Amino acid sequence: MSNLSRLLKESWTLVEEQQDKVASYFYARMFLNNPQLRDLFPVQMDVQRSRLLGAIVTAVQTFGDPDQFADYLEALGRDHRKFHVEPQHYDIVGDALIEALRTFAGEEWGYEYEQAWRDGYAAIARKMIEGAEADSANPPYWHAEVLHHERRSRDIAVITCRPMLPLEFRAGQYVSVETRYQPRLWRAYSMANAPRKDGSVDFHVRAVGAGWVSSALVRRVQPGDMIRLGAPMGSMTLDRRSTRDIVCVAGGTGLAPIKALIEEMTRANRTRWVHVFFGARDRDDLYDLDCLNRLAARYPWLSVVTATSDDPEFPGEHGNISQVVARYGPWQDHDFFVSGSATMVRATLRTLAEMQVPAIRIKYDAFGDS
């Protein structure tokens, strides 16, 4: 562990148990120092729901060497243009962060700790600002018209929209989405198709529990509505130079980016076998199986295995999809794409580690904290 990482981790333990208080103080400080910043945040803003402080703390602690994460941080800076974040805001946020940490850390807080957080934050902010500046030819977000909205199960919808201006992305990436029902509340959704000539984009959305944005997308949004999309992000894209066969593991709407990747391969692939494992609780949640089966019937290189964890009569595999993948294989020589809930992704990564799949061959996106 580098000296910087050690200082960041050590100092965080001083405030860790008072995170809620640190967060309240941080936002109060930030809005007091610059009241206009309040307009950048969601209307109903309870501290638990706001993600900024948690995101910064995780970023500063994880990205000890920001150059190593340059692509991600530059994309995050580009994405932040949708919040109307300007370069000068970074100092205001950084100062509020340090003040909040210092206030709650008590007497053990010292110069070394403060400098470590300042250095870590400044290096990350620099990369984000560079990313935003390099993107000035693009709009800060894209208005998109909803063309189709189809309910595929109790709580899943497939939505097709068309951005008003060209939106360049790669299969496997995601964008954040905002609806008019929850202004300034943005959530990430993966494009479920490879780029098309008409520019339209599909999303597969599952309404989760009391989820604000997912419920609006599944239950309220209709054709003709306008939604807003942030800049494309994510690196779960196809390595076109690789000749290895591919295994895709999708849980529920985690199928979205996998479907985009399959679509990309239907345009070029002749030589790589692609095995898709698609799992859900019950058959109702295997919402796109007909389409997957049609693709598998048409492309000899594509095979699909489906599994349910909670549907004993289902005529396919049974169990969690991570366990099902382990029944097939061996997989040491394959490229992997894994996408779904954090629990599902974690379980699959564990299985793959046990099966000796090198981590470098695995790309994944977890739909939540992993």
Contact positions vs ligand HEM (CB under 6 A): 37, 40-42, 50-52, 55-56, 59, 76, 80, 83, 85, 89-90, 93, 121, 124-125, 128, 176, 186
Exactly one of 209, 300, 312, 315 binds ligand FAD (CB under 6 A); that residue is 209
- Round to whole Å and give the CA distance between 330 and 251: 21
- Round to whole Å and give the CA distance between 45 and 41: 7
Q: Does 212 bind ligand FAD (CB under 6 A)?
A: yes
Kind of pairing, strands 174-178 and 317-318?
Answer: unpaired
Binding mask 241-280 for ligand FAD (x = CB under 6 A): ------------x--x------------------------
Amino acid in position 13: T
Closest CA to 231 of 156, 176, 163, 184: 176
77 phi, psi to nearest 5 deg: -65, -40
- The nearer residue to ligand FAD, 92 or 188, going by C-beta atoms, is 188
Going by the DSSP 8-state scheme, the letter that residue 47 receives in this structure is T
Span from 74-82, 162-170, 193-201, 213-221 in contact with ligand FAD (CB under 6 A): 213-221
CB neighbourhood size of 158 (10 A): 20
Span from 199-207, 224-232, 281-289, 326-334 in contact with ligand FAD (CB under 6 A): 199-207
Q: Does 45 bind ligand FAD (CB under 6 A)?
A: no
Tell me whether the omega of the peptide bond preceding residue 66 falls within 30 degrees of 0, making it cis: no
Spell out the residues 6+ positions from residue 105 whose beta carbon is closer than 8 angstroms to its own: 11, 14, 15, 113
Q: Does 189 bind ligand FAD (CB under 6 A)?
A: yes
- The nearer residue to ligand HEM, 63 or 336, going by C-beta atoms, is 63
Spell out the residues 6+ positions from residue 38 whose beta carbon is closer than 8 angstroms to its own: 31
Q: How many residues bind ligand FAD (CB under 6 A)?
A: 22
Closest CA to 289 of 153, 146, 154, 147: 153
The distance of closest approach from Cβ of residue 358 to ligand FAD in the complex, given in angstroms and rounded to an integer, is: 23
Q: Contact, 38 vs 28, CB < 8 A?
A: no
Residue facing ligand HEM at closest CB distance: 55
Span from 69-77, 160-168, 211-219, 301-309 in contact with ligand FAD (CB under 6 A): 211-219
Q: Contact, 213 vs 182, CB < 8 A?
A: yes
- The nearer residue to ligand HEM, 42 or 139, going by C-beta atoms, is 42
Q: What is the CA radius of gyration of the chain?
A: 22
The distance of closest approach from Cβ of residue 366 to ligand HEM in the complex, given in angstroms and rounded to an integer, is: 12
Exactly one of 137, 210, 359, 360 binds ligand FAD (CB under 6 A); that residue is 210
The site partner of 256 among ligand HEM, ligand FAD, none (C-beta below 5 to 8 Å per kind) is: ligand FAD
Using CB under 6 A as the criterion, which residues of the chain lie in contact with ligand FAD when the complex forms? 174, 187-190, 204-206, 208-215, 253, 256, 341, 365, 367-368
